[in-house]
Amino acid sequence: MEYRRLGASGLLVPALSFGAGTFGGRGELFSAWGDTDARQARRLVDISLEAGVTLFDTADVYSDGASEEVLGEAIRGRRDQVLISTKATLPTGPGPADAGSGRGRLISAVESSLRRLGIDHIDLFQLHAFDAGTPVEEVLSALDTLVRAGKIRYVGASNFAGWQLMKSLAAADRHGLPRYVAHQVYYSLVGRDYEWELMPLGLDQGVGAVVWSPLGWGRLTGKIRRGQPLPAGSRLHQTAEAGPPVDDEVLYNVVDVLDEIAAETGRTVPQIALNWLLRRPTVSTVIVGARDEKQLRQNLGAVGWSLDADQIARLDKASAVTPPYPYYPYYRLGDFARVNPPAV
């Protein structure tokens, strides 16, 4: 396993990390993802650790907290071998104190997560969304209190817009408060919006990408192809509306190239899609999930090898879409690369 710095921090994280969204199985959305119990989860953690995957990601909203509970059971007795990442901000109940990133809410959320996980500190705590109703200075001050109390080690954000992230970083610098070193983002071969604003921001500010749904919400599993119905076992039947939108023609064009490269390399479609992401600028770690051992072992096969330059170029071309304003005029004229050379 390759280990990388998480943004401009001293924390080393594995190139692949494990997402515990399939743990717990409570609620309509998360039960469709999976219903892994503590015994099954412990086995998946065993396999992950054997492969060098040390970072495990969850959130307080996953299965109404059950994901954290199951993960806590699965890591019991080996806390010193793992890094734990969790998130808060999204609503966990109907009350006014059950959502947002205000001081009281964040302190309560962290204490509740620690209790469910059965640990005394969180290695990476991320805000699951931007709270426009709370001043960023209050949010950062609350995080600073939690860091100083030893309850969290590093802080990050998730699903922020560029201005929201930059405003928070500027406030952190101005007041000497903790900076976000991670941004948990959606990024895949069929969802490259991250590249236009958030990736350059991450490069400039030292914010590492923690990638969620790297297989395009289950569309890059190798089971979905042009002219064929969704497989009976696909979770897309139940969850497609909750996930990121994907243009069907882009998806099929990407899968066509993935199939070609799979034949050339002997690798699977998911392994190739994950390996492509691992070569992208700012990517610190890619979160993979799994309902069972077979799926996990296949995803772990994405590391230890590299696509060649021609294969990467073909995937780049197949997955390219016209960017939004203000980027598209220069992109169409071919001038974008001249003023925004590729990062190394």
Catalytic residue IDs:
62
Calculate ∠ Cα 2-12-212, nearest 5°.
Answer: 75
- Per the CB < 8 A criterion, the answer to whether 243 and 234 are in contact is no
Per the listing, tokens 């995957």 go with 53
Record the tokens describing residue 309, joined without a space.
């330059």
Record the tokens describing residue 168, joined without a space.
């928070």
Query: Residue 38 and residue 73: Cα distance in Å, rounded?
Result: 6
CA of 127: how far to CAs of 115, 232, 342, in Å?
A: 18, 35, 29
Query: Residue 198 and residue 166: Cα distance in Å, rounded?
Result: 10
330: left (phi over 0), alpha (psi -120 to 50) or beta: alpha
Calculate ∠ Cα 121-126-132, nearest 5°.
Answer: 135
Q: Which of these, 90, 93, 78, lies nearest to 45 by C-alpha position?
A: 78
Q: Which of these, 194, 246, 192, 193, lies nearest to 224 by C-alpha position?
A: 246
Record the tokens describing residue 28, joined without a space.
């309509």
Separation of first and last alpha carbons in the chain:
21
